Each structure stands twice: as structure tokens, then as C-alpha cells.
């Protein structure tokens, strides 16, 4: 079925730089794909469509791609937030058995229904701000049984919602209590789970938290080798709290992305540039952990490393569910331009997931786009605490309702 979406201002992001603005634009979708995008005056003569939709002069951008979230978990960590405000550090809390481990016990203790309902509310919040593709990591189950449960719930969201979901296995997120003092045994177990999880169709990519409070470079390598044997792409939580050289290791494995990167070295930047690895920057975690060391933005730009921006939604380091606030913080905290920020949550977000079929408004790409009640795309990084998203089209279909009244915000 062909549909004409007329009377729109488009920010296509179709070229490597610039907004790709088309003032009096139109879009033709055919099924799930964009069939034609351009100036309304240049619409192909004799075009026959099955439906016509008036976008009333609103701004249209590609649907947002949130390429790094931990959406499925039980409980919350507001008490830990208070401890941190009183001076405890994220590392101290983790070493004392809190942090990720406390979410692991809450997740294991939650029913499937509880986990699903909580994740559904979070997915709705992201969708309301124009997200059409989201990545969801496991990593709060930390046993085969509970990792399967969390990844299944992530897949179920994709099945039941007008939303594209990519799942990442992050079983190497923290050491579960039953493996206390035996991190190598745990990593060996994770390497045995991977073929099982993959065999059940639950894994699109494999991630590791490489950090002094998590897993070493050698342990990360083992997980990456197991992923490689299965033909799965890898990603890495790298250089968030210290420089472990994780970026170089990830680049060696042709990683899709390295994420966080506040402590990334010059050598790490070069390795990522050579491998074409995307730098996923997470201003929500930087803000919420009250970090002061910035990722090396200028060096990433100079080396032409693609930069993506994501929410990193999780209960410990980034409990935010507003992709638009992340765009704002990418500019205010990381000094990205509004165009870099939006590119980071569209084209480059898609690239961080290995997806080349979305992220810009170009014929042939997925027909995922968001409609905004703003004049110019720079406003998406300008307003905060206000959601100007009025409509979302996912795979050529209008999503109803775009703003569910009862969606948790
Ligand atoms: O991306 N850095 C590790 N993982 C998450 C936080 C997990 C947690 O604290 O629950 C992150 O920041
Ligand atoms: Fe994360």
C-alpha cells in the first residue's frame, strides 16, 4: 500500500553533515519502506497512492534510535541515589554488594508479569518521544534462567508494540553472588550460555562491562571470542570509570560500538576510528553519577569516529526515560551541536546497532519517522521537560495513540 504524507518540513539527515532540510516536503511510503522523499513540487507525476495524510506543516525527522538501554529489570535504586548524594561513590556501593547486584536480586524476585509491565511502561515513555527502534540489554538476571527470562520479555515487547527491538546479551555485567570470588568460572559459564541464548533466537549482539568493578580485559576477550564463534557482533561498556584499554580490544573484534568512554585514551580513539566502531555517549549516566571527566569529544570528531547518543536507561546510573532530555544534555554537558546530537540518536544510533536501513529519511529506508510541533530541528535539543512529538509513523503505519495518557513518564 502506498501512502502520501504531505505538507511537512523534513530534516532528512540524508547527507554526512547538515540537517538535510526540505521546507515544503513530502514523503511517499510503500509498506514498511520509504518509497520517495523530497520537495512536494517534485513529486513524481501521475503518482497513485492509496491514502493521503496531511502533516499540517509540522517538522518530520527519522524515528529516534535509542541504541543503549537496560529496560528490563525489577525494583529501583532511589536509596542508593541518596547514599551517593551523601558522599558514597558508585564504585563503593558496587563493591559493598549494592549497585547492579541489588537490581539482580530484585529482578530474580519479580514475576514475568511484573518485569513485563514495568518494561512496557518504560518503552511507552521512550515511544512517546519519537523512539522507533530501541536496544535492550540483559544483565540483571545473571543466571541462564533469568537472562533467558529478561531477553524473552525484551523480544515480547517487540512482538506486542509498534516498536523495533534489538536485544543484547550483557550477562557479563556483574558477578552474581553464587560466583563470589570466582569471576573466571562465571565468565566460563557465560560463554556456555551464549550458544543456548543464541539458539533460542534471543541475541542480536553481545556486550561486556569491562571495568575494575566488573570484568577484566582478559575476561572480556573470552566473551568476545565466544560471541565471534557464533558470528555475533560485540559492543562494550568501555572506559566509563577508568581506562582499561577496552576500546582497543573491542576494535580488535570489529565492535559495533564502545559505550560511555569518559576515560577513553588517544590510542582508544585511534583504534575505534580504524575499526569503524561507533562511540556511544551517555549523558544521562554522566549527569546522574555527577561525573566531571568528559569523553574526548574533540578527539573523536578529529578522528571521524561516529558519535551516537542514547538514554542508557537503567536503575543505577541513568534512570531517565527522556531521549529528548539526552539530546539537550548531549549539547549542554558534552558540547555537541544540536545536529550532532540528533544524528547521534538517528543515523549513528542505528549504526551502533549494525542497522543501515534506518536513521535517515531516504528512499529505501524503513518508513519510521516522528512528527514534531516545532519550527526547526535544533529545538529538539533546546526544549526540555516538554514533549513536542505529536505523531509517530512506524513501518509506514501511524502509531495510535502516540501519547498514551497512562504511560508512566
Ligand atoms: O550502563 N555501567 C554499567 N552498567 C550500567 C549501569 C548498571 C547499574 O548501575 O545498574 C550503565 O551505566
Ligand atoms: Fe549501560
Express each pLDDT in 256-314 by its tens digit.
Answer: 999 999 999 999 999 999 999 999 999 999 999 999 999 999 999 999 999 999 999 99
Nearest CA to 354 out of 306, 386, 317 is that of 306
pLDDT computed for residue 300 by the predictor: 98
- Ligand 1 pocket mutation, candidates 139, 210, 235, 316, criterion most atoms within 8 A of CB: 316
Q: What is the per-residue pLDDT for 400?
A: 78
Residue 53 three-state SS: strand
- 396 C-alpha to ligand 2 centroid (Å): 30
Ligand 1 binding site (Cβ under 6 Å of any ligand atom): 99-100, 103, 209, 237, 240, 285, 312, 314-318
Q: What is the pLDDT of residue 221?
A: 98
* Nearest CA among 162, 158, 174 for reference residue 237: 174
Q: In whole angstroms, what is the distance from residue 13 CA to residue 19 CA?
A: 5
Can you tell me which atom of ligand 1 is nearest the CA of 312?
1
pLDDT of 96 reads 86
Q: Which of 98, 237, 238, 290 to mutate to test the pocket of ligand 1 (most atoms within 8 A of CB)?
A: 237
CA-proximal residue: ligand 1, atom 11 (nearest): 317
SS3 of residue 312 by DSSP: coil
> Residue 53: how many CA atoms within 13 Å on its side-chain side?
18
Contact 388, 61 (CB under 8 A): no
For the question of whether the overall pTM of this predicted structure is more than 0.75, the answer is: yes
- Å from CA of 206 to ligand 2 middle: 13
Cα 389–chain centre separation: 19
Query: Which residue has the CA at smallest separation from atom 1 of ligand 1?
Result: 312
266: how many CB neighbours lie within 10 A of its CB?
Answer: 10
Report the alpha-carbon distance of residue 176 to residue 74 in Å, rounded: 16
Predicted confidence at residue 405, as pLDDT, reads 46
**Burial of 96 (C-beta count, 10 Å sphere; 0-12/13-18/19+):** exposed
Low-confidence ranges of the chain (pLDDT < 50): 402-409
Cβ–Cβ < 8 Å for 61, 365: no
The ligand minimizing its distance to the Cα of 289 is 1
Ligand 1: which of 317, 318, 319 to mutate, judged by most atoms within 8 Å of the beta carbon? 317
Ligand 2 midpoint to CA 281 (Å): 10
Residue listed under C-alpha cell 570489529: 254
Give the pLDDT confidence score for residue 192 in this predicted structure: 98
Q: What is the pLDDT of residue 269?
A: 98
| CA-derived radius of gyration, the chain | 21
The predicted pLDDT at position 404 comes to 44
Q: Of all protein residues, whose CA lies closest to atom 3 belonging to ligand 1?
A: 209
Amino acid at each position: 500500500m502506498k501512502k502520501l504524507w504531505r505538507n511537512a518540513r523534513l530534516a532528512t539527515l540524508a547527507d554526512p553533515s547538515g540537517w538535510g532540510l526540505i521546507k515544503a516536503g513530502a514523503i511517499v511510503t510503500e509498506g514498511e519502506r520509504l518509497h520517495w522523499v523530497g520537495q512536494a513540487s517534485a513529486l513524481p507525476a501521475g503518482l497513485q497512492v492509496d491514502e493521503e495524510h496531511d502533516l499540517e506543516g509540522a517538522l518530520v525527522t527519522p524515528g529516534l534510535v535509542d541504541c543503549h538501554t537496560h529496560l528490563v529489570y525489577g525494583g529501583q535504586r532511589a536509596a542508593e541515589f541518596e547514599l551517593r548524594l551523601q558522599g558514597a561513590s558508585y564504585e563503593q556501593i558496587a563493591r559493598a554488594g549494592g549497585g547492579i547486584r541489588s537490581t539482580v536480586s530484585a529482578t530474580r524476585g519479580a514475576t514475568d508479569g511484573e518485569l513485563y509491565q514495568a518494561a512496557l511502561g518504560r518503552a511507552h515513555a521512550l515511544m512517546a518521544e519519537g523512539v522507533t527502534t530501541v536496544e535492550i540489554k540483559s544483565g540483571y538476571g545473571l543466571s541462564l534462567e533469568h537472562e533467558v527470562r529478561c531477553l524473552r520479555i525484551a523480544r515480547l515487547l517487540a512482538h506486542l508494540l509498534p516498536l523495533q527491538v534489538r536485544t543484547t546479551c550483557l550477562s557479563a555485567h556483574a558477578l552474581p553472588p553464587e560466583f563470589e570470588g570466582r569471576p573466571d568460572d562465571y565468565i566460563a559459564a557465560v560463554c556456555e550460555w551464549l550458544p543456548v541464548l543464541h539458539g533460542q533466537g534471543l541475541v542480536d549482539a553481545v556486550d561486556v562491562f569491562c571495568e575494575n568493578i566488573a570484568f577484566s580485559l582478559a575476561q572480556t576477550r573470552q566473551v568476545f571470542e565466544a560471541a565471534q564463534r557464533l558470528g555475533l557482533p560485540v559492543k562494550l561498556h568501555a572506559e566509563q570509570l577508568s581506562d582499561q584499554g577496552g576500546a582497543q580490544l573491542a576494535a580488535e573484534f570489529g565492535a559495533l560500538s564502545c559505550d560511555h568512554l569518559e576515560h577513553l585514551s588517544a590510542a582508544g580513539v585511534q583504534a575505534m576510528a580504524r575499526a569503524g566502531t561507533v562511540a556511544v555517549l551517555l549523558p544521562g549516566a554522566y549527569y546522574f553519577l555527577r561525573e566531571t571527566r568528559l569523553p574526548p569529544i574533540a578527539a573523536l570528531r578529529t578522528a571521524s569516529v561516529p558519535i551516537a547518543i542514547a538514554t542508557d536507561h537503567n536503575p543505577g546510573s541513568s534512570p531517565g526515560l527522556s531521549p529528548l532530555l539526552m539530546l539537550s544534555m548531549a549539547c549542554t554537558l558534552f558540547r555537541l551541536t544540536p545536529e550532532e546530537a540528533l544524528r547521534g540518536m538517528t543515523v549513528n544510533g542505528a549504526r551502533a546497532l549494525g542497522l543501515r536501513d534506518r536513521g535517515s529519511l531516504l528512499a529505501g529506508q524503513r518508513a519510521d519517522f516522528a512528527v514534531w510541533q516545532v519550527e526547526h530541528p535544533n529545538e529538539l535539543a533546546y526544549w526540555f521537560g516538554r514533549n513536542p512529538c505529536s505523531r509517530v509513523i512506524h513501518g509506514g503505519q501511524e502509531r495510535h495513540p502516540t501519547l498514551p495518557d497512562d504511560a508512566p513518564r
